[in-house]
Amino acid sequence: MQTATTVLPLGERKAWKALQSHFEQISPKHLKDLFAADPTRGERYTAEAAGIFLDYSKNRVDDETLKLLVELAEESGVRAKIEAMFTGAKINITEGRAVLHVALRAPKSESILVDGEDVVPAVHEVLEKMGGFADKIRSGEWKGFTGKKIKNVVNIGIGGSDLGPVMAYEALKHYSQRDLTFRFVSNVDGSDFAEAVHDLNADETVFLVASKTFTTQETMTNAHSARDWTLASLKDEKAIASHFVAISTNAQAVGKFGIDTANMFGFWDWVGGRYSMDSAIGLSTMIAIGPKNFESLLAGFHEMDVHFRTAPFEKNLPVLMGLLSVWYTDFFDAQTVAILPYENYLKRFPAYLQQLTMESNGKHVTLDGTHVDYETGPVYWGEPGTNGQHSFYQLIHQGTRLIPADFIGFYKTLNPLGRHHDMLMANVFAQSEALAFGKTAEQVRAEGVAEALVPHKVFEGNRPSNTILTEVLTPNVLGKLVALYEHVVFTQGAVWNIDSFDQWGVELGKVLATKILGELESVEAPAGAHDSSTNSLIAKYRANK
Ligand code: F6P
């Protein structure tokens, strides 16, 4: 079996070299010509799985490109790496951990071993405990300290302990219990907490303190402020038990904070923070939409997992999308990927994908520590359509950069309202058509445009995009979409031969911030141990705070 360590350096792989010479031939070609040469392209370059349809025909590829990209995946050991993940191998090598978010949605009948122990029963045990708690909050059975029903749920967490919960809450609001209010506090900026609770009563509010490590400075600070806020109103330490639950892997720290570990929902070190929205970190989601809908979300994840693990690469949605983004990143020098969901409920989806993709694949060394000599993770960003069209699409259409885009659309809306949905979807199809085919100077002139304006009105086109279409935004579909991108990230990381599951790049700033905090708060002026810029910024802040 080919393993991470036996894979040749990227530049030495046969398919990579073949792609380099193939790039010379295909890069000058216009999508217009590729479409003209093959009238069936729009049907051929599509794939569908688990009810998710992908049209990748508007990409700068031909049959040869796709063949070589698939060969690259094979040669990069993607198949073996997928199996290694699904079978609990410790593929997060810098932390010596298995990477098993796929176990979080594995049916009860499956068994996945980590260090000889089947982790699936424990997953279902936690899900049941979450279900019991969610039902109690939703039904009003769980009472606050003064005997009142809980009306407000505040999730305190950051990064993966926030972005998944917020994104899912927004995405699935349609399915949420509307007499419950949900708030999400993440930033250490006190305004975040202050605004989240300003209109809430402590005796009707439960805090979910979500932190894998239970040591994250922002989360612990916010949790302590929440504790103070609760005690200021309820004036009894015993109130904490009714108003605080913890979601963590660190029972000791939870106990130390003062939360009864009976009110703790656990998960495991083999769940990465950015891959944790379907673990106990999803408790707020489960309270909002109910355990049955949460089950359906997990089933959606699982369906995409099975597809990723079993489908041939030519028809494998995450593999195809992952390979296409490698193609643009490393051959076309594209720096970013735009995520453009035409579904207002998915407004936090691009922000969620930012952590998933950029914390995973923002890496500069390969698994064995060698500096890469190629580009890795692109910048992911985006906004829901059609809003983006009236702000940044100008640059995608006529700017000087190549920005591959993913359009995400739905056949049906959750809120039928006159012609709105057809109008929304007309924009999806119009944008990807305009990006790909553009408008020539001749076409502009034929409209009678004054010659001086012609260059300004030309659209070069040849700008690539994927279009993803699916039925309607349900919990199940959301699970499929998130799993799709998780596995896109996996595919990219496998080709680049990097560790997509650690995040050492966040550490230095954390350490420096702790040191600087002491210097901002000390009575005596700090010794000036930094560079001249940092020293004077600290001095200026101290003088003016
Ligand atoms: O600082 C980065 C990070 O470790 C993320 O990977 C993680 O999602 C976030 O912080 C929050 O961590 P925790 O859940 O342990 O509080």
The model's pLDDT over 420-471, given as tens digits with 9 standing for 90+, comes to: 999 999 999 999 999 999 999 999 999 999 999 999 999 999 999 999 999 9
Q: Is 243 a catalytic residue?
A: no
CA–centroid distance, 411 to ligand 1, in Å, is 36
Q: Which of 161, 209, 214, 268 to mutate to test the pocket of ligand 1 (most atoms within 8 A of CB)?
A: 161
Nearest atom in ligand 1 to 158's CA: 11
Strand partners, 149: 143
* pLDDT one-digit tens code per residue, 161-213: 999 999 999 999 999 999 999 999 999 999 999 999 999 999 999 999 999 99
Query: Is the CB of 222 within 6 Å of ligand 1?
Result: no
For residue 1, pLDDT over 50 is answered with no
Query: Is the CB of 212 within 6 Å of ligand 1?
Result: yes
Q: By the 8 A CB rule, do 227 and 219 touch?
A: no
ipTM over 0.85: yes
Query: Is the CB of 158 within 6 Å of ligand 1?
Result: yes
The arithmetic mean of pLDDT across residues 266-291, rounded, is 98
Q: Which of 216, 267, 355, 502 to mutate to test the pocket of ligand 1 (most atoms within 8 A of CB)?
A: 216
In sequence order, the 6+-apart residues with CB closer than 8 A to the CB of 273 are 159, 160, 161, 212, 503
CA–centroid distance, 502 to ligand 1, in Å, is 11
**Segment holding 72, helix H or strand E:** helix 63-75
Query: Is the CB of 161 within 6 Å of ligand 1?
Result: yes
Residue 6: the pLDDT is 76
CA–centroid distance, 303 to ligand 1, in Å, is 27
DSSP for residue 526: P
CA–centroid distance, 226 to ligand 1, in Å, is 19
Nearest atom in ligand 1 to 506's CA: 1
Q: Is 510 a catalytic residue?
A: yes
Query: Is the CB of 216 within 6 Å of ligand 1?
Result: yes
Confidence of residue 106 (pLDDT cuts 50, 70, 90): very high
Nearest atom in ligand 1 to 160's CA: 8
Q: If you take atom 16 of ligand 1, which residue's CA is the nearest one? A: 211
Six token digits for residue 169: 């809450």
Q: If you take atom 1 of ligand 1, which residue's CA is the nearest one? A: 506
Tell me the average pLDDT of the chain.
Answer: 97
For residue 26, pLDDT over 80 is answered with yes
Q: Determine the Cα–Cα distance for residues 457 and 263; give it in Å rounded to an integer.
A: 62
Q: Where in the chain is the domain with CATH 1.10.1390?
A: 506-543
Q: By the 8 A CB rule, do 325 and 403 touch?
A: no
In sequence order, the 6+-apart residues with CB closer than 8 A to the CB of 343 are 384, 408, 409, 410, 473
CA–centroid distance, 216 to ligand 1, in Å, is 7
Q: By the 8 A CB rule, do 413 and 421 touch?
A: yes
Whose CA is closest to 261, among 214, 310, 199?
A: 214
Of 218, 303, 343, 359, the active-site residue reads 359
Report the share of the chain in percent with pLDDT over 90. 99
> Could you write out the DSSP letters of every residue in 163-194?
HHHHHHHHHTGGGS-TTSEEEEE--SSHHHHH
For residue 342, pLDDT over 80 is answered with yes
Fold of 10-76+311-496: Rossmann fold (3.40.50)
The class of domain 104-293 in CATH terms is alpha beta
**Segment holding 339, helix H or strand E:** strand 336-341
Q: Where in the chain is the domain with CATH 3.40.50.10490?
A: 10-76+311-496, 104-293
CA–centroid distance, 133 to ligand 1, in Å, is 24
Query: Is the CB of 105 within 6 Å of ligand 1?
Result: no
Q: Is 204 a catalytic residue?
A: no
Nearest atom in ligand 1 to 219's CA: 16
Residue 386: the pLDDT is 96
Q: By the 8 A CB rule, do 501 and 15 touch?
A: no
Query: Is the CB of 283 within 6 Å of ligand 1?
Result: no
CA–centroid distance, 214 to ligand 1, in Å, is 9
The arithmetic mean of pLDDT across residues 324-353, rounded, is 98
DSSP for residue 13: S
Confidence of residue 3 (pLDDT cuts 50, 70, 90): very low
Q: Determine the Cα–Cα distance for residues 171 and 152; give it in Å rounded to an integer.
A: 19
Distances (CA, A) of 196 to 137, 191, 222, 283: 19, 8, 11, 18
Nearest atom in ligand 1 to 273's CA: 8
The class of domain 506-543 in CATH terms is mainly alpha
Hey, how many other C-beta atoms are within 10 angstroms of the C-beta on 93? 15
Of 14, 108, 390, 420, the active-site residue reads 390
Report the share of the chain in percent with pLDDT over 70. 99
Give yes or no for a cis peptide into 357 (omega within 30° of 0): no
